[in-house]
Amino acid sequence: MSLIIPCPHCGARPVQEFVYGEIPVVPDDLTDPDARDVDRAFMRANPEGPTVERWFHAYGCRRWLTLERDTHNDEIFSAE
Partner 1 sequence: MNEFMERQVKLTWHEPKASYDVVIVGGGGHGLSTAYHLATRHGITNVAVLERKYIGGGNSGRNTTVIRANYGIPEAVRFYQRSVELYQRLEEETGRWIMHERKGLLWLAHTEAGVRAERARARVNTAFGAETLFVTPGEIKEIAPEVDLTGGGQWPVLGGSYHPQGATARHDRVNWALAEGAMERGVHIHQRTAVTDLLKEGDRVTGVMTDKGPIHAGAVVSAVGGHVTALGRMAGLRLPIRTHPLQAFVTNHYALDFHPIVASMSLLFYASQTARGEMLIGAEIDPQPSYSYRSGHHFLQSCAFRAMTLLPFLRRLRILRQWTGVCDMSPDYSPIMGKTGVENFYITTGWGTWGFKAIPAGGEQMAELIATGETPELIAPFALDRFARDRTLADRGSAGTH
Partner 2 sequence: MPTQSQSSLIVDDEPIHFDPGDTLLTALLKADRHPTGGGCLCLGGDCPHCVATVDGVAYVRTCQTPARPGMTVERENIRGYPALPADRRPGPVAPAQNLHCDVVVIGQGQAGRTAAADARADGKTVITLDAQAGQEVIGIYPGPLVVARTDAATLHVHPRDEIVIATGAAETQPVAPGNQLAGIVTARAADELAAAGVNLGKVVAVGAPPETIDVEHASGELIRFEGDARVTAVIVRDEAGVERRHACDTVAVGLGFYPRDMLARMSGDFPVRVVGDAATEARIPPCPLAGTVCHCTGVAVEDLDFIWAQGFHEMELVKRATLAGTGTCQGGACIPHLRSFLADRGAELQPAFTARPVTRQLTIGEVSAGAFHRPTPRTPLDDIHRELGAQMDRMGGWWRPWQYSQVPDEEYWAVRTGVSLGDVSTLGKMQVSGPDAQELLERLYPTKVSTIKPGRSRYVLLLNEAGYVLDDGLICCDSASRYTLTFTSGGSTTAELWVRDWADSWGLDVRILNQTMALAAINVTGPRAGELLARAGFQAPLPYMGHTEATVAGVTCRVFRLSFTGELSYELHHAAAEADILWRRLMALGAELGVKPHGLQALTRLRLEKGHILIGQDTDYDATPRRINHEWAVKLDKPDFVGRRAVIRTNKIPLDRQLVGLETALPAPQEGDLIYCDGQYAGYITSSSPSPVLGKAVMLGWLELFDGQLPDAVTVNGRPARRVPPHFYDPDSRRARIEVTPRANAAQPLPELTPRSGRGVHGTGLARLAATRIVARPAALSSAAWPDDLIVLPVAPDEALLLGRNAPDELVARVGDPHALAIGDTSFVAAELTPEAAEAIFQRTCEWEIPPDRPAFAQGALADIPVKLWLEAERVLLIAPAPFATDVVERLL
* Alpha-carbon gap, residue 68 to 80, rounded angstroms: 9
- Least separation in angstroms between residue 9's CB and partner 2 is 6
Which residues are registered as beta bridge partners of 10?
Answer: none
The verdict on 3 binding partner 2 (CB under 8 A) reads: yes
3-state secondary structure (DSSP) of residue 36: helix
C-beta of residue 68 within 8 angstroms of C-beta of residue 50: yes
The verdict on 61 binding partner 2 (CB under 8 A) reads: yes
Site for partner 1 in 6-65 (CB under 8 A): 14-16, 19-20, 22, 27, 30, 34-35, 38-39, 41-48, 53
Q: Which does 53 bind (CB under 5 to 8 A by kind): partner 1, partner 2, none?
A: partner 1
The verdict on 26 binding partner 2 (CB under 8 A) reads: no
CB burial readout 16-28, b (16+ within 10 A) else e: ebbeeeeeeeeee
The verdict on 27 binding partner 2 (CB under 8 A) reads: no
